Structure 1
Amino acid sequence: MRLSYGFLLTRTSTCTYTRSFIPSPVRIPLSKTPTHRSFHSHAQGGLRHPFKLGNFLQKFKSPLILTPELLTGEHRDIKDYYDFEDKLGFGRYGEVYIGRLKSDPSGSTRHAIKVIPKSKVRGLYDLKQEIDMLELLDHPNIINIIDVYEEPHTIHIVTNLCTGGELFDHIVKKGTVSESDASRFTKQILEALAYCHGKHIVHRDIKPENILFKADDEMSPLCLVDFGMSRIFKDDELMNASVGSPAYVAPEVLDLSYDEKCDIWSAGVILYLLLSGEVPFGGKTDDEIYSAVAKAKLEFPQRNWANISDEAIDLVKHLIEVDISKRLSAEAALNHPWIASSAANRKEPLLAAIENMRLFTSHKKLKRIALGYVASHLVKTKESEAVKLQKLFKTLDNNNDGFLPVDQVVQVIVDNSGSVDETYKRQLEDSVREIDTDRSGSLDIEEFIAAAMQQATYLKESHINAAFQKFDTDGSGSISREELIAALGSTADVDDIMRHADLNKDGVIDYPEFEAVMREKSFEVRKSLSRARSRHVSK
C-alpha cells in the first residue's frame, strides 16, 4: 500500500533518552530507518531549536547501571512461576515471549512476558512510568499488567497475551478496510482513550503499531499497548514534552503546548488511514512530515474518498481539528452518529443481521409482531435499512425465489458462529422457526427484515408509532384484547401479552405501554406508573 508521502507504509518507533537528574526527559521520535530527527516548534513557519542527538549521546556512552531489586524491592525468579515458550517478537527494551503459568494444572494459562536486561535500560523513568500507568488501568481494550518479576540483572513484565498482531499489519495487508471495520476499530480506540482520559492519563503515542488484536481473528477486540510515553495530567494543564511519532503527532505537540486531546488527533489520523489507505500529512523525511502536520491542510481526494460516507468524513474532520477547543473529546466522539448509530459496532452486514436475529427470538410476542409491521413499513417506504437488508437477502437467496428455507438460515448462522454442537444447532433451528411467523418453513423478505434490522432503526419514534397504529385499528389510542386477537389470528397468546404489556392493568395497552415493550423498559415504566398512581391516590 503506497502512502501519500511517496513511499511504502513503514512502522514508526519512538526512542526515549533519559537520565534521572534531567527534570524533563527528552524524547526523540525515530523512523524505522534511523534518521535521528527530533521535532521542533513551528511557530514561525519553520523548524527551530535543532536538537543535536549525537552530542547528547556522547555524554552518556555507557548504559545506566541499575542495582538489584530497584523496581520491585524483592527478588523473584520468573522461571519458578512460568515456562517459556515461543518468542513473540521484540519490544522497546527487549524480547517478548509466551509464558505458560506453572500453577495452572490444565496448562492453558498463557501470558506475554517482556524480558528486559537492566544493562539495556538507560534510565528507569519510562520503564517505571509504563508499569505505574498500567497498574492504574483496567479496561478490556487496554493491555493489562499481571505481574512484575525482578532478578539482579533482568526485569520481567507479565501482561495478558495478544496473539492477533498489530493493527498496522492489518492495514498493510488489506490496504483499506470497510467502514464497518473502521467504525468498529475506532470505537474501541475511543473507548480506551475515554477511559484513560477519565483517569487523567494521556497516552501520547497513539499509532497503529501500538494497537494489537487480542486474537488471530478479524472480529477480535483491540488492545492499546505501550504506555512508555504516557503521563498523568491535571485539568487545564498544558504539557510541553516532545513526544509522539511523525505521521500521527498533533500540531500543538510540535509547538510544545498541548493537553490530552493530542491523543484524539492521533486517533483521527488512524481513522483517516483506515478509510483511505494513506496518512493525511506526509513527506519524504521526518522534517517534511512535521512541516505538513504543522500546516494541517486536511484534504479528502476523490480517488480515495468518493465512496466514503459523509458521516465518516465528518467524524474525521472533528478528530483532526486544529482548534483544540473544537476537537471532540473521546467521550463526545463516541456519541458521533457514525459511531453511535452502528449496531453491533457496525459489524459486517451478515454478522450484524445474525446477531439481530438471535436477539429477535428473545423478544416478547407483541414486539415480534410489531417488528413485522415495522419491516413492512420499511419495505414500502424503501428506507435505507430495508434496501441494505434486501441486498443481503438476495445474496443468500440462492435460487432467487424470494424465500430463505429455515434450514439454510440455520446453516448460515452456524457457519458464522465457530464450533457448535448438535444441541445448539437444534436450539438454533427452533429459534429461526420463531422468525417464520406464518409457519411456511421459509423466511420471506419482511420476516427476514423484521428479525435482522438494527435496533436503532425500529426504535425511531415514527416507526414505533406506525406499528402502534397497525394494532389500534379503531384509532382509540389504545390496543384492546379484540384488536390483539385480530392481529394474532387467535386467542392463544393474548393473556400472556396483556399480562406483560398492560402495566397499569386497565385492560388495554396504551401508547406508553406499547413503547415500553418496544424499548424493553417495562420495569422503568412500571415504576413510573406506580409513582403516578401513588400521587393520584395521595391527592
Structure 2
Amino acid sequence: MGCYQSKSKSDNSKIVTVKDLKVQKSAFVQHNPNPFQEIYSIGRSIGTGAFGEVRRVVHRHANATRAAKIFRKDLAKTEEAKQKLNLEIDILKSLDHPNIIRIYEFFEDPKRFYIVMEHCNGGELFEEILKRQSFGEVHAAQIVQQILSAVAYLHDRGIVHRDLKPENILLEERGDILNIKLIDFGTAVFLEKNKTIRGALGTAYYIAPEVLTGYYNEKCDMWSIGVIIYILLSGVPPFDGKTDDDIIEKVKKGNYSFAGAAWRNISREAKDLISSLLCPPANRLTAPAALLHPWIAANASRSLPSVQVMQSALSNLKGFHNNNKLRDAVQTFIATQCISQQDTKDMREAFRAMDTNGDGKLSKEELLAQYVRTMGPEMAEVEVNRIMAEADSDNNGFIDYTEFLKATLDLKTAMSAENLKVAFDVFDKDGSGKISTLELKRILEGGAQTEKSLWNMIVNEVDLNGDGEIDFSEFQNIILSKL
C-alpha cells in the first residue's frame, strides 16, 4: 500500500466470545484504494504547510464537505517524514473527542498522500482573535475549557500535541466559540507515563522553555495553553519580539507582565491560572487540574442544552440495546462517517453537559448523577449498570463520545437506505454483493487473536438463507430490526 504502515499497538489477547469483541471507530478509518479525484472534487486551498496544503473537498456521492490534508511526496522523501505521516494517521484514528478534529479516510497516489478530515466553516481561532482584538473573561474561559478538555483527553491517552496555538484551533462555524476543534497532529507524539522526549518543535510564541533547552513531557502543552489564555484576554503575546530569536530569548527567561491597560480589569483568578501555567514544569498545572481552577469554574459554565435535548439523550441511552455485533459495528460506522456536524450538535451539547470533569468520556458516576434526578439511587444504579453493559462497545469502563452518539442519535433517520448501502460497501471489500467471514474479520478484528468460529457465529446470526455470507437484504434486516 506504499507509504502507510500502522504503528498502532496490537491487542494480542485471545477473543473467544462475540461479547468480548471490541468495536472501535478506528476500524472504519481506512486506506481508500480508489483515485482521490474519483471520490472527491477538490476546491479552494484553506491552508499550507511544509509538505503541502489543506483543501476544501466535496465527497461526490455523499455531497459532504470535508477538508483534505494533501502531502506532496517530492517534499516528504525521507524515512523520517514518512514515519511522521504514519504517526499522524495513527494518532488521528485513535482520537474520539467532541473538540478534536475527526479523520474519515486516507488515500495515496504516485505523487501525493491525502488525509480526509472534518471541515470547519468558522476558520481559525487566530482569525477570531484578530477580529475581536481580545475576549471578555467568560468567552475566553469557554474557549479555554474546551482546549483543556481536549488536551486532558490527549494526555490521558499518552499523546503530546507539541504545537498548540490559535492557528491550530478551528471554529466549527463563524463566531461559534462554543464549538471548537483542535487540529494539526503533525508534530504530536505518543509518550509513556513518566517518560520525557527531546527535540525543539513548535512555534516561537507558544513554545515552552524546556523544549528549547532539553528534555520535556506533556507539560509543554500546558505552557502553550497559558500563552493562549494571555493572548485571548489581552490581544498580545506574553513573549514578543521582532524575530523568532528575540521571542525565544524572552521565552527562555520566562519574564512576562500583567501591566498595562489591557490587564486593569482582568480578574485575579485569570492571572493566577496564567501564572500557574507559565511557570517551571514541576509547578505547572496538569490539564485535569486546570479544568478545576476557580477561573474556569466561575466563567466557563456551559450553556446547558434544552430540557428536551437532555431528556431525549437520557431516554435514548436507557432504550439503547446492543444485542448484535454487526449492528453495533454499523451504528459506529454511521455515527462517525455519515452523520453531519449539524446532526450531532444537540447530542454533542448533551455529552459535554454530562461530562462534568471535562475528560471527554462519561464515567459511571457522571451517568448516575443524571439518572438519580429522576429515579431513586438503587434504581439509577441498576439502570446505569445496564447502560454501561450495552453502550460501552470497547469495554473500557467509560461511554466514549462515539458510543454516546450511536446510543442517543435518532437511529431511524440515521439508518437511511443510502447510509446502509455505504456501510454495506465498506464491509463488502471485493464488491461481490455479499459480506464474507473474512471481510468481516478484516475490519473488526483490530489486531486481536480470534478463532474462525467467532466470525461464523456472527455471520450465522444474520445469514437467513444459509449460504455462509451476508447479502444486502440480510444486512438491512438485522440492522433495522428492533429500531
TM-score normalised by structure 1 residue count: 0.51
Task: Give the aligned residue type for 1:338.
Answer: W
Structure with greater Cα Rg: 1
Q: CA 1:100/1:285 → structure 2, altered by over 3 Å: closer, same or farther?
A: closer
**Partner residue in 2 for 1:336:** 293
Correspondence for 1:120 = 75
Percent identity, aligned pairs only? 37
Q: Which moved more, 1:92-101 or 1:256-265?
A: 92-101
- Residue 319 of structure 1 aligns to a residue in which SS? coil
TM alignment of 1:143-292, pairs within 5 A? 143-292=101-250
SS at match of 2:214: coil
C-alpha separation between the residues in 2 aligned to 1:101 and 1:361?
30
Aligned residue number for residue 457 of structure 2: none
Matched, 1:521 2:373: yes
Deviation at 1:237, TM superposition (A): 0.8
CA distance in 2, matches of 1:524, 1:289: 58
- Cα distance change of structure 1 residues 524 and 305 upon mapping to structure 2, 3 Å threshold: farther
How much has 1:361 moved relative to structure 2? 13
- Pair 167,311 (structure 1): closer, same or farther in 2 beyond 3 Å: same
Q: Distance in 1 between matches of 2:292 and 2:134?
A: 24
Task: Give, in whole Å, the separation in 1 of the partners of 2:107 and 2:271.
Answer: 46
> Are the counterparts in 2 of residues 141 and 224 from structure 1 also a CA contact under 8 Å?
yes
Equivalent residues of 1:76, 1:151 under 8 A apart? no
1:75 and 1:152 in contact (8 A); partners too: no
Q: CA deviation at 1:524?
A: 4.8
The one-letter amino acid paired with 2:277 is L
1:359 CA drift (Å): 5.0
C-alpha distance 219-236 of structure 1, shift in aligned 2 (>3 A): closer
Q: Per-residue displacement from partner, 1:385-424 (whole Å, max 9, x unpaired)?
A: xxxxxxxxxxxxxxxxxxxxxxxxxxxxxxxxx9xxxxxx
Give the 3 Å change call, closer, same or farther, for CA 204–524 of structure 1 in structure 2: farther
Shift of 1:520: 6.5
Distance change >3 Å, CA 146–CA 292, structure 1 → 2: same
Give, in angstroms, the shift of residue 526 of structure 1. 6.2
Q: CA contact under 8 A between 2:142 and 2:178: conserved in structure 1?
A: no
Displacement of 1:91 in angstroms is 3.7
CA distance in 1, matches of 2:90, 2:44: 27
Closer/same/farther in 2, CA of residues 361 and 174 from structure 1, 3 Å limit: closer
Higher relative CO (CA 8 A, sep ≥ 6), structure 1 or 2?
2
In structure 1, the residue corresponding to 2:276 is in which secondary structure?
helix
Contact 2:141 2:300 in 1 (8 A): no
Are residues 74 and 310 of structure 1, via their aligned partners in 2, closer, same or farther at CA, if it must alter by over 3 Å? closer
In structure 1, the residue corresponding to 2:200 is in which secondary structure? coil
Deviations 1:371-392 (A, max 9, x none): xxxxxxxxxxxxxxxxxxxxxx
Q: Distance in 1 between matches of 2:370 and 2:222?
A: 36
Q: Deviations over 1:309-360 (max 9, x none)?
A: 11111111111122x2221100111111211233643xxxxxx5xx69x559
| Separation in 1, partners of 2:32, 2:122 | 33
Which letter does structure 2 place at the counterpart of 1:521? Answer: R
Unaligned runs of 5+ in 2: 6-30, 312-341, 343-352, 354-367, 383-483
Partner of 1:305: 263
State the match for 1:465 in structure 2.
none
Change over 3 Å in CA distance of 1:178–1:96 after alignment to 2? same
- Give 2:218's aligned amino acid: E
Rounded Cα–Cα distance in structure 2 between residues aligned with 1:518 and 1:314: 32
Figure out how many residues of one structure are paired with residues of the other and give that number: 300
SS at match of 2:116: strand
Aligned twin of 1:60: none
**CA RMSD in angstroms, aligned pairs only:** 3.2
CA displacement at 1:70 relative to structure 2: 2.4
CA distance in 2, matches of 1:529, 1:136: 30
User: Runs in 1 of length 4+ with deviation above 6 angstroms?
Assistant: 360-363, 516-520
Q: Distance in 1 between matches of 2:378 and 2:71?
A: 59
> Is 1:97 the counterpart of 2:55 in the alignment?
yes
How far is the alpha carbon of 1:197 from its aligned partner?
0.4
Q: What's the counterpart of residue 41 of structure 2?
A: 83
Q: How far 1:527 moved relative to its partner?
A: 5.8
Q: CA deviation at 1:223?
A: 1.0
How far apart are residue 255 of structure 1 and its match? Answer: 1.4
Once the 2 structures are TM-superposed, how far is the Cα of residue 102 of structure 1 from its aligned partner?
2.5
Shift of 1:222: 1.1
In the alignment, structure 1 segments of 5+ residues that lack a partner are 1-67, 346-351, 364-417, 419-454, 456-515, 531-539
Q: Distance in 1 between the 2:294 and 2:376 partners?
A: 26
CA 1:517–1:115: 2 relative to 1, 3 Å: closer
Shift in CA distance, 253/155, structure 1 to aligned 2, threshold 3 Å: same
Provide the C-alpha distance between the structure 1 equivalents of 2:38 and 2:87, rounded to a whole number of angstroms. Answer: 26
After TM superposition, give the deviation of residue 303 of structure 1 in Å: 1.5
Alignment correspondent of 1:111: 66
Say which SS state the counterpart of residue 131 (structure 1) adopts. Answer: helix
> Displacement of 1:96 after TM fit?
2.3
Question: Which of 60, 63, 69 matches 2:2?
Answer: 69
Task: Return the TM-score normalized by structure 2.
Answer: 0.57
- Preserved CA contact (<8 Å) 1:114 1:157: yes
**CA offset at residue 144 of structure 1?**
1.4
